[in-house]
């Protein structure tokens, strides 16, 4: 009874706070903090997830298991209520990882600007492009042009559509001429635009595959399709306005709450609550209709234009939390008929990643490993596009810096991503029947 009463109270209070301070464009994160808690039991973990849902907490490390830390960002006006909420569930021993998020953003942007000024003159080819720094949309577009020109015999660049604000979305395709059928792997990055490490990692990975003889077998063994920068509108926003913007930019600037969560907008188990939210101000808003977002609709149409099951694997790339998640993601205890094969491949990827720098990537069904998310890319690629090996990666870190991962971790993270994908390629190749 008591917990029901507390839940009701929490819901009412958070709705009140949500209306006053919904997820809107934020120019400054002054006074925002990142807190760390370690739930010690399943019960505490579930209560934390519940608090997260009603208070619309922005987790930087998702709550996974009892004994594992979770981190989340706290608005200045949320502190007192959250402190009380955490005390109520016995988590009063939280730590403050970051005392001022804006201070870190300002410091990182200054360092990135200085570094980019110094390295700009060397960014002239795929091999001399600076992979140790984050690049704004214009430079990612330039990189795609360079790849298409320098490797024009094996590479094609397709425009799959435009974003809400009219920016082109491109896919790069690497194919070898072959008389035999070959496996095909599809990857995307940056559906959540603040997750800068995702684009930085796929750029690094493909540079290695194109220019490092150690990884040329990856190009020889399978065909690759990838979209390095999906939510370009949002990415522009993170460079010029709100660094931690997550959603698309649909609805236009006059709407009170802009954008939809692209990873809740796919036409697979769409709008099932609590895996998404009907509230346009929520960071997990599922949109007015399934595939309402240009970015999602164009990508879905592109994948489907090849036919069901055309691809052997699909990886959608996110950060942060160091996870590999596979279907089903929309509902707890929903087990797919390919569960064993998915777990087998996920374990191989996690092992391969650990072997690089010792980083631990937890893997499992999305709904049980973190919490249910409906309308996700991964459930759609599995359920609708019939791509058995469908996984979502959550790259570094485990919540320390979250989406503000320092640039000196780009290359080590990229090396891990590369080895994880190489393991997937090996698995797909071994199990390929043509
Ligand atoms: Zn994400």
Phi, psi of 362 (to 5 degrees): -75, 140
Q: Which residue has the higher pLDDT, 328 or 123?
A: 328
313 and 388 fall within a common domain:
yes
User: Assign residue 76 a region: left if phi > 0, alpha if psi is -120 to 50, beta otherwise?
Assistant: alpha
- Neighbouring CB atoms inside 10 A of 294's CB total 22
Does pLDDT of 23 surpass 90? no
- C-beta separation of 235 from 345 below 8 A: no
204 and 163 fall within a common domain:
yes
pLDDT classification of 255: cutoffs 50, 70, 90: confident
184 alpha carbon – ligand 1 mean position (Å) = 24
158 and 217 fall within a common domain:
yes
Does pLDDT of 350 surpass 80? yes
115 and 159 fall within a common domain:
yes
pLDDT classification of 123: cutoffs 50, 70, 90: low
Phi, psi of 32 (to 5 degrees): -70, 145
Any domain includes 12: no
90 and 112 fall within a common domain:
no
Does pLDDT of 61 surpass 80? yes
Per DSSP, the three-state class of 161 is strand
Does pLDDT of 7 surpass 50? no
- C-beta separation of 311 from 376 below 8 A: no
Give the CATH number, domain containing residue 146: 3.40.630.10
Q: What is the dihedral of CA 304, 306, 312, 317, to 10 degrees?
A: -50
Residues 192 and 184: their CA atoms lie apart, in Å, by 24
325 alpha carbon – ligand 1 mean position (Å) = 12
371 and 299 fall within a common domain:
yes
73 and 127 fall within a common domain:
no
Any domain includes 6: no
Query: What's the pLDDT score for residue 5?
Result: 43
Residues 274 and 50: their CA atoms lie apart, in Å, by 10
Picking from 70, 99, 128, the residue at the C-terminal end of a domain is 99
Picking from 64, 99, 134, the residue at the C-terminal end of a domain is 99
Does pLDDT of 10 surpass 80? no
Looking at residue 96, what DSSP letter applies?
E
Residues 229 and 203: their CA atoms lie apart, in Å, by 10
pLDDT classification of 400: cutoffs 50, 70, 90: confident
54 and 125 fall within a common domain:
no
Query: What's the pLDDT score for residue 51?
Result: 94
324 alpha carbon – ligand 1 mean position (Å) = 12
- List, for residues 149-188, the tens digit of each pLDDT value: 999 999 999 999 999 999 999 999 999 887 788 999 999 9
Does pLDDT of 213 surpass 70? yes
254 and 303 fall within a common domain:
yes
Does pLDDT of 91 surpass 60? yes
- Mean pLDDT lowest for which of 6-15, 53-62, 157-166, 293-302? 6-15
Any domain includes 13: no
Any domain includes 407: yes
39 and 117 fall within a common domain:
no
Q: What percent of the chain has pLDDT over 70?
A: 93
Burial of 339 (0-12, 13-18, 19+ CB in 10 A): middle
In the sheet where 362-365 sits, what is the strand order? Answer: 155-162, 168-174, 223-227, 184-189, 313-319, 389-395, 323-326, 362-365
Per DSSP, the three-state class of 158 is strand
Query: What's the pLDDT score for residue 56?
Result: 85
Does pLDDT of 75 surpass 90? yes
223 and 271 fall within a common domain:
yes
1 alpha carbon – ligand 1 mean position (Å) = 35
Across the chain, mean pLDDT equals 91
Does pLDDT of 13 surpass 80? no
CA atoms within 13 A on the CB side of 149: 10
258 and 149 fall within a common domain:
yes
Nearest 5°: the CA angle 38, 40, 44 is: 90
Any domain includes 7: no
Neighbours of ion ligand 1 (CB under 5 A): 192, 318
Does pLDDT of 8 surpass 70? no
Q: Which two tokens stand for residue 154?
A: 């094996």
What is the average per-residue pLDDT within 122-150?
A: 93
- Neighbouring CB atoms inside 10 A of 335's CB total 13
User: What sign does the dihedral 10-16-22-27 (CA atoms) show?
Assistant: negative
By C-alpha distance, which of 84, 79, 40 is closest to 63? 40
Q: Which residue has the higher pLDDT, 359 or 179?
A: 359
pLDDT classification of 18: cutoffs 50, 70, 90: very low
367 alpha carbon – ligand 1 mean position (Å) = 15
398 alpha carbon – ligand 1 mean position (Å) = 14
20 alpha carbon – ligand 1 mean position (Å) = 25
Residues 198 and 134: their CA atoms lie apart, in Å, by 10
213 alpha carbon – ligand 1 mean position (Å) = 32
52-66, 254-268, 296-310, range with greatest mean pLDDT? 296-310
pLDDT classification of 113: cutoffs 50, 70, 90: confident
Give the CATH number, domain containing residue 76: 3.30.70.340
106 alpha carbon – ligand 1 mean position (Å) = 22
Kindly give the pairing relationship between strand 33-37 and strand 70-74.
antiparallel
- Among 195, 293, 394, 400, the active-site one is 394
The predicted model scores a pTM of 0.92
What is the average per-residue pLDDT within 284-310?
A: 97
Any domain includes 357: yes
198 alpha carbon – ligand 1 mean position (Å) = 9
Bridge partners for 317 per DSSP:
189, 393
Any domain includes 5: no
Does pLDDT of 273 surpass 90? no
Phi, psi of 370 (to 5 degrees): -120, -95
Query: What's the pLDDT score for residue 121?
Result: 66
Domains: count for the chain: 2
Bridge partners for 316 per DSSP:
188, 392
179 alpha carbon – ligand 1 mean position (Å) = 38
Any domain includes 20: no
Q: Which residue has the higher pLDDT, 337 or 255?
A: 337
Per DSSP, the three-state class of 302 is helix
Picking from 99, 121, 154, the residue at the C-terminal end of a domain is 99
pLDDT classification of 4: cutoffs 50, 70, 90: very low
pLDDT classification of 3: cutoffs 50, 70, 90: very low
193 alpha carbon – ligand 1 mean position (Å) = 8
Q: Which alpha helices (DSSP H) does 21-63 contain, by range?
A: 42-54
Bridge partners for 33 per DSSP:
74
The position carrying tokens 């360079």 is 146
- C-beta separation of 276 from 284 below 8 A: yes
Domain extent, residue 242, equals: 108-430
Q: Is 293 a catalytic residue?
A: no
Query: What's the pLDDT score for residue 69?
Result: 92
Query: What's the pLDDT score for residue 332?
Result: 87
Does pLDDT of 143 surpass 60? yes
Phi, psi of 145 (to 5 degrees): -60, -45
- Mean pLDDT lowest for which of 50-64, 213-227, 346-360? 50-64
Query: What's the pLDDT score for residue 194?
Result: 97
């Amino acid at each position: 009874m008591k917990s029901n009463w507390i839940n009701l109270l929490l819901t009412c209070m958070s709705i009140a706070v949500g209306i006053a301070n919904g997820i809107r464009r934020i120019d400054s994160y002054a006074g925002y903090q990142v807190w760390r808690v370690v739930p010690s039991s399943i019960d505490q973990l579930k209560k934390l997830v519940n608090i997260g849902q009603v208070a619309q907490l922005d987790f930087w490390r998702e709550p996974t298991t009892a004994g594992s830390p979770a981190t989340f960002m706290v608005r200045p006006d949320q502190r007192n209520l959250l402190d009380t909420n955490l005390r109520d569930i016995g988590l009063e021993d939280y730590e403050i990882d970051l005392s001022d998020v804006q201070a870190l953003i300002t410091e990182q942007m200054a360092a990135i600007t200085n570094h980019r000024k110094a390295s700009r003159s060397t960014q002239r080819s795929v091999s001399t492009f600076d992979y140790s720094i984050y690049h704004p949309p214009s430079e990612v577009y330039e990189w795609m042009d360079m790849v298409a020109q320098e490797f024009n015999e094996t590479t094609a660049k397709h425009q799959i559509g435009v974003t809400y604000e009219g920016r082109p979305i491109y896919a790069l395709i690497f194919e070898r001429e072959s008389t035999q059928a070959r496996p095909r792997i599809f990857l995307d990055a940056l559906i959540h635009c603040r997750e800068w490490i995702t684009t930085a990692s796929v750029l690094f990975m493909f540079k290695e595959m194109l220019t490092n003889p150690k990884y040329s077998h990856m190009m020889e063994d399978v065909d690759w399709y990838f979209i390095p920068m999906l939510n370009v509108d949002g990415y522009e926003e993170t460079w010029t306005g709100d660094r931690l913007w997550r959603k698309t930019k649909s609805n236009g600037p006059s709407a009170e709450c802009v954008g939809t969560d692209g990873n809740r907008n796919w036409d697979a188990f769409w709008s099932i609550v609590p895996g998404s939210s009907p509230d346009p101000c929520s960071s997990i808003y599922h949109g007015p209709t399934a595939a309402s977002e240009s970015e999602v609709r164009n990508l879905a149409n592109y994948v489907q234009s090849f036919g069901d099951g055309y691809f052997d694997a699909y990886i959608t790339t996110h950060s942060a939390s160091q996870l590999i998640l596979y279907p089903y993601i929309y509902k707890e205890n929903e087990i797919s008929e390919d569960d064993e094969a998915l777990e087998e491949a996920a374990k191989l990827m996690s092992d391969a990643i650990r072997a690089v720098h010792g980083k631990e990537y937890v893997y499992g069904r999305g709904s049980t490993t973190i919490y249910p998310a409906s309308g996700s890319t991964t459930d759609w690629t599995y359920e609708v596009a019939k791509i058995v090996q469908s996984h979502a990666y959550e790259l570094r870190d485990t919540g320390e810096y979250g989406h503000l991962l320092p640039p000196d971790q780009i290359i080590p993270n990229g090396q891990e991503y590369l080895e994880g994908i190489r393991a997937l390629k090996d698995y797909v190749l071994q199990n390929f029947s043509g």
